[in-house]
């Protein structure tokens, strides 16, 4: 697989995995489980590019023009970046013959990003410790990222089948 095909494959897998996660989030939201409002992610990202990384409460920080669209863009770019990191770790050959183990394991590891970076920066604390239900939130985060890992495998498998 040449480098341009690898790059396009990483983009497709990252978008596919993120879409699988979004379908999961839609399902759990319809079941009454709270999920992240991507406008708040966009708000945080908008402030971050202006130099403000930490907030007492991102919900109480000033709104950013286009924050919902910015949040969705950041969400998908993060999925692509994670897919790229997975391919860097396991090799581009994984894209041609994906195995579930690396994808699921890596998906679970990606939960460290919200637990240790995003949630503290948004005012929710490490492992969502400043939220009303930190354990439940941490378990939901873990489930969401397990689904993302499954999405990495499903997207890569689908793409490998198309390219075969």
Give pTM, 2 decimals.
Answer: 0.94
Q: How many domains does the chain have?
A: 1
List pLDDT tens digits, range 141-154: 999 999 999 999 99
Distances in Å between the Cα of 102 and the Cα atoms of 59, 63, 81, 91, 142 are 35, 38, 16, 11, 16
Residues of the chain with pLDDT > 70, as a percent, come to 100
pLDDT at residue 112, as a whole number: 98
> What is the rounded average pLDDT of the residues 153-161?
97
Domain interval for residue 142: 3-163
Of the pLDDT bands very low, low, confident and very high (cuts 50, 70, 90), residue 71 is very high
pLDDT at residue 105, as a whole number: 98
List pLDDT tens digits, range 27-55: 999 999 989 899 999 999 999 999 999 99
**pLDDT surpassing 80 at residue 22:** yes
Burial 117-137 (b: 16+ CB within 10 A, else e): ebbbbbbbeebbeebeebeeb
- The distance of Cα 42 from the centroid of its chain, to the nearest Å, equals 13
Q: What is the mean pLDDT of the chain?
A: 96
Measuring CA to CA, which residue among 127, 119, 79 is closest to residue 103? Answer: 79
């Amino acid at each position: 697989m040449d480098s341009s095909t690898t790059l396009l494959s990483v983009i497709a897998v990252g978008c596919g995995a993120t879409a699988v996660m979004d379908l999961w989030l839609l399902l759990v939201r319809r079941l009454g489980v709270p999920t992240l409002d991507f406008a708040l992610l966009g708000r945080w990202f908008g402030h971050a590019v202006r130099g403000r990384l930490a907030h007492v409460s991102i919900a109480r920080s000033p709104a950013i023009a286009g924050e919902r669209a910015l949040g969705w863009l950041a969400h998908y770019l993060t999925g692509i970046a994670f897919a790229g990191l997975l391919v860097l770790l396991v090799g581009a050959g994984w894209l041609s013959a994906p195995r579930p183990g690396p994808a699921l394991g890596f998906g679970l590891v990606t939960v460290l990003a919200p637990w240790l970076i995003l949630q503290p920066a948004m005012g929710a604390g490490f492992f969502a410790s400043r939220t009303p239900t930190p354990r439940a939130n941490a378990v939901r985060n873990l489930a969401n990222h397990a689904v993302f890992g499954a999405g990495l495998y499903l997207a890569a498998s689908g793409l490998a089948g198309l390219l075969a």
